[in-house]
């Protein structure tokens, strides 16, 4: 959706990190587009000091009341990460969607701030080759069909890091020493994960250098003694760690610390981007990897076979919708309603052993009211008549009927 040339944006809300790229974008919007700029910086648990973002915006003339810095960690985990985890979602069987799940929340706040400040446009720093441009913009249009969107990487001529730094220097934008020269890789982080892509990772045959990892210890250097933990669940969501109740964000943060120490959650992946190309990335999802294993384990006791298998059939479609940017689509919401319905009785505790990059489920127990596991029925010992093994003969014959009829046809 492209605005007519005579319908230039007047005021734009920029997703602003305070780093080199978005600082250049801020100045470019002011100078080249003639826009009044509002900045929005989200604290999603990326572990960075956000004070410099405010200072950088002020230095470039953004009024204090037009600088928005918000702590969204609890909302991020409660309303986005946990609903996704209820589905056991993994894109292409592996990726826990750490970057994708953060984009709809950022877009939601960009649109809300645009409404509050009277802005008629939003802007982001995603490139024209990646998935994030799609995710930001699909979410934005779903929430405000008439919003204008500015994506500088699809417009400007600052197509190299050298040109970006030159533009920064021309406009008195600070360029940190570590940003000079060619960056070895790019990263994105939030409370769920850190992703690293580009340059040193572009050859899928080359092993990821140690310096790329920022969230996890090397599994081989992790403690030689395993650690046991117990995660408590209520209605499909994690609520406690080792008996201590924690908020969603606090629980994920605590699991991140455990996962980091034990080298858990590294994923080297070649994935299919929505825009059509394959890309190789290194993802670190320490707490999320532990949480996902525990959630699936408590479902093993509390979900009926039919419901569990249907969820597994729905999961790839659900994960693909999130990956492709359709969080605010009716089909994702329909799937979410079914998934959430399945979680009403997913309550209990799971014990995991953490050891040198691995998460090993060693025990699970469900709330007695919701437990579908019957030791009396499954036992190899005397079941006191609760299961008549003779019934299996008729069951097998009925299921074999069509196979026997097929088998009698001439070969």
371-409 burial, b for 16+ CB within 10 Å, e for fewer? beeeeeeeeeeeeeeeeeeeeeeeeeeeeeeeeeeeeee
DSSP 154-169: GT-S--SHHHHHHHHH
Q: Is 280 a catalytic residue?
A: no
The tokens for 397 are: 């014959």
At residue 225, φ and ψ (nearest 5 deg) are -105, 130
Model pLDDT, residue 183: 64
pLDDT in tens, 372-409: 998 888 877 777 778 889 999 999 999 999 999 999 99
At residue 201, φ and ψ (nearest 5 deg) are -105, 0
Mean of the per-residue pLDDT values of the chain: 94
- Cα 271 to its chain centre, rounded Å, is 15
Catalytic residue among 21, 120, 188, 237: 21
Contact predicate 152/9, CB 8 Å: no
Q: Per-residue pLDDT for 38 more than 50? A: yes
- Cα–Cα distances in angstroms (integers) from residue 105 to residues 66, 141, 159, in the given order: 19, 13, 28
Catalytic residue among 120, 132, 188, 237: 132
The pTM for the full model equals 0.94
Radius of gyration of the chain, Cα coordinates, nearest whole angstrom: 25
Q: Say how far apart CA 323 and CA 92 lie, in whole Å.
A: 10
Q: Per-residue pLDDT for 8 more than 90? A: no
Of 352, 339, 342, the C-alpha closest to 287 is: 352
Would residue 286 be called left, alpha or beta, if left means φ above 0 and alpha means ψ between -120 and 50 degrees?
A: alpha
Q: What is the CATH number of domain 187-303+346-366?
A: 3.90.1260.10
Q: Is 132 a catalytic residue?
A: yes
Q: Is 365 a catalytic residue?
A: no
Of 93, 94, 89, the C-alpha closest to 265 is: 94
Lowest mean pLDDT among 77-91, 124-138, 171-185, 244-258: 171-185
Contacts of 137 (CB under 8 A, 6+ apart): 107, 124, 149, 151, 325
Residue 48 DSSP label? -
Model pLDDT, residue 198: 87
- Cα 337 to its chain centre, rounded Å, is 19
- Angle, in degrees to the nearest 10, between helices 330-342 and 305-324: 150
Query: Where does the chain hold its CATH 3.40.50.620 domain(s)?
Result: 11-75+98-183
Model pLDDT, residue 360: 98
**Average pLDDT of 307-331?**
98
**Average pLDDT of 250-258?**
98
Query: Where does the chain hold its CATH 3.90.1260.10 domain(s)?
Result: 187-303+346-366
Residue 264 pLDDT level (bands cut at 50, 70, 90): very high
Diameter of the chain measured on Cα atoms: 85
Q: Is 237 a catalytic residue?
A: no
The tokens for 258 are: 């455990």
Catalytic residue among 10, 43, 79, 186: 186
Per DSSP, which regions of 226-347 are E strands?
227-234, 237-241, 244-245, 266-272, 278-284
Catalytic residue among 54, 73, 103, 260: 103
Of 190, 185, 214, the C-alpha closest to 98 is: 190
Q: Say how far apart CA 175 and CA 180 lie, in whole Å.
A: 7
Would residue 148 be called left, alpha or beta, if left means φ above 0 and alpha means ψ between -120 and 50 degrees?
A: beta
Lowest mean pLDDT among 202-211, 238-247, 307-316, 372-381: 372-381
What fold characterizes domain 11-75+98-183?
A: Rossmann fold (3.40.50)
322, containing H or E segment? helix 305-324
Q: Per-residue pLDDT for 123 more than 60? A: yes
Per DSSP, which regions of 173-287 are E strands?
186-189, 194-197, 227-234, 237-241, 244-245, 266-272, 278-284
């Amino acid at each position: 959706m492209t605005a007519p040339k005579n319908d230039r944006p007047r005021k734009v809300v920029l997703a602003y990190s305070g780093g080199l790229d978005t600082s250049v974008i801020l100045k470019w919007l002011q100078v080249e587009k003639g826009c009044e700029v509002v900045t929005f910086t989200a604290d999603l648990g990326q572990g960075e000091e956000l004070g410099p973002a405010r200072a950088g915006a002020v230095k470039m003339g953004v009024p204090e009341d037009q600088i928005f810095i918000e702590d969204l960690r609890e909302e991020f985990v409660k309303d986005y990460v946990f609903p996704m985890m209820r589905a056991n979602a993994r894109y292409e069987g592996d990726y826990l969607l750490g970057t994708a799940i953060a984009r709809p929340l950022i877009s939601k706040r960009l649109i809300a701030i645009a409404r509050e400040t009277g802005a008629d446009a939003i802007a982001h720093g995603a490139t024209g080759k990646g998935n994030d441009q799609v995710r930001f913009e699909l979410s934005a249009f779903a929430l405000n069909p008439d919003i204008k969107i500015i994506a500088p990487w699809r417009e400007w001529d600052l197509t190299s890091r050298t040109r970006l730094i030159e533009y920064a220097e021309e406009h008195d934008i600070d360029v940190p020493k570590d940003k000079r020269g060619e960056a070895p890789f790019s990263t994105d982080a939030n409370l769920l994960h850190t992703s690293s892509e580009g340059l040193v990772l572009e050859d899928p045959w080359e092993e990821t250098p140690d310096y790329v990892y920022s969230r996890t210890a090397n599994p081989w250097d992790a403690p030689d003694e395993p650690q046991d933990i117990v995660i408590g669940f209520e209605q499909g969501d994690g609520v406690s760690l080792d008996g201590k109740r924690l908020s969603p964000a606090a629980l994920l943060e605590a699991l991140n610390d455990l996962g980091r120490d034990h080298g858990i959650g590294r994923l080297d992946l070649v994935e299919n981007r929505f825009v059509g190309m394959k890309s190789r990335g290194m993802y670190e999802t320490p707490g999320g990897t532990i949480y996902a294993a525990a959630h699936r384990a408590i479902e093993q006791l509390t979900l009926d076979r039919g419901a569990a298998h249907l969820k597994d059939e729905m999961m790839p479609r659900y994960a693909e919708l999130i990956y492709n940017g359709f969080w605010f689509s009716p089909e994702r919401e329909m799937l979410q309603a079914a998934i959430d319905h399945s979680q009403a009785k997913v309550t209990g505790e799971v014990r995991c052993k953490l050891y040198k990059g691995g998460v090993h489920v060693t025990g699970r127990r469900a709330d007695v009211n919701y437990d579908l596991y019957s030791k009396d029925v499954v036992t190899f010992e005397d079941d006191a008549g609760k299961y008549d093994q003779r019934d299996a003969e008729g069951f097998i014959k009925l299921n074999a009927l069509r196979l026997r009829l097929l088998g009698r046809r001439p070969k």
